[in-house]
Amino acid sequence: MPSVLELVAAQKMPRLSASDHVAQTLKKAIVDGLLPAGELLRQDEIAAHFHVSKIPVREALKHLEAKGLVTFLRNRGAVVASLSTAEIDEYMEIRAMLEARAARLSAPLISDQVIEQARHHLDEFGRAGDAGRWGELNWLFHSTLYAAAGRPILLAEIRSLYNKVERYVRALLSVTTEMPKTQHEHAEILGAFVRRDPDAAAELTRAHVLDAGASLVTYLNDHRSRGGNT
């Protein structure tokens, strides 16, 4: 049976530099749960599977370290990073503040065309059948709404926080029974943007992210208490 690295390395990616190809492919494997927390990432093994030298592998791992997906341990090397529930809770609190700010700035400025784009992502979210697609569409929905704020640094910070917790969110989405609730909250947020109501857009967004964070921490505490590896 092929190893995880063999399966990962065989995936087709757009034409990229060697380090970007390795980084994006490993990132997807981590987010999808194929490479679990604590997994040792041997540079020589990765280089062999991707048919590259260790230099782009090292660059890729450093890139993933900056995104919070990989950590370097003394005398062990690179491993898939693990976040504590306290860290995840804090990341979600920060996300709630930043996303509420983005929503407040964007709501009065958003165009009808962009609202329809967000509505399309919301409809696709409702039809999607797997956690990976839900995760992608969740980001597309929210980032489309926030883009009208014209604050690229703010959006980049929000995206960075998404990257740090995305694999845990996908794990939750794969087992959750709260999709109708999530869809309802998304529809309420969209409605606030349709009305160009900055206060409602900000408060609904803040509450939505905090609620998601609470559900995520509860799930992870339960999962880890039963010996789950996340």
81 closest CA partner among 62, 96, 56: 62
Q: Which residues contact 121 (CB under 8 A, 6 or more apart)?
A: 137, 140, 141, 144
Question: Is residue 8 within 8 Å of 26, Cβ to Cβ?
Answer: yes
Residue 102 DSSP code: H
Instruction: Judge whether 215 lies within some domain.
Output: yes
Report the pLDDT value the prediction gives residue 1, as an integer from 0 to 100. Answer: 37
**172, 216 contact by CB (below 8 A):** yes
Of the three residues 61, 80, 99, the one that is the final residue of a domain is 80
Q: Convert the pLDDT of each residue in 44-79 to its tens digit.
A: 999 999 999 999 999 999 999 988 899 999 888 999
Let me know: does 38 contact 80? Beta carbons within 8 Å.
yes
Within 10 Å of residue 97's Cβ, how many Cβ atoms? 13
User: Rounded to an integer, what is the distance from CA 197 to the centroid of its chain?
Assistant: 27
Which of 80, 108, 131 is the last residue before a domain boundary? 80
For residue 228, is pLDDT > 90? Answer: no
Q: Quick check: is 230 in a domain?
A: no
CB-CB contact of 11 with 25 (8 Å):
yes
How many domains does the chain contain in total?
Answer: 2
Range of the domain at 18: 4-80
Token pair 């929000």 in the structure block, residue: 158
Alpha-carbon span 7 to 192, nearest angstrom: 44
Q: Is 12 inside a domain boundary?
A: yes
**Token duo for residue 116:** 């329809």
- Domain limit, last residue, from 52, 80, 108: 80
SS3 141: helix
Could you tell me the pLDDT band of residue 129, with boundaries at 50, 70 and 90?
confident
The pLDDT assigned to 77 comes to 92
Lowest mean pLDDT among 9-13, 102-106, 143-147, 159-163: 9-13
Please state the pTM of the whole predicted model: 0.83
pLDDT tens figures, 157-193: 999 999 899 888 888 877 777 788 899 999 999 999 9
> Do 113 and 216 share a domain, yes or no?
yes
**Does residue 114 share a domain with residue 185?**
yes
Average pLDDT of the chain to the nearest whole number: 90
The pLDDT assigned to 230 comes to 67
Asked if residue 9 and residue 49 are part of one domain, the reply reads yes
Are residue 72 and residue 93 in the same domain, yes or no?
Answer: no
pLDDT at 32 over 90: no
Whether the Cβ atoms of residue 186 and residue 141 lie closer than 8 Å to each other = yes
Co-location of 19 and 111 in the same domain: no
Highest mean pLDDT among 2-6, 102-106, 167-171, 214-218: 102-106
Tell me the C-alpha distance between 191 and 115, whole Å. 10
Q: Are both 63 and 108 inside the same structural domain?
A: no
In this structure, are 41 and 13 located in the same domain?
yes
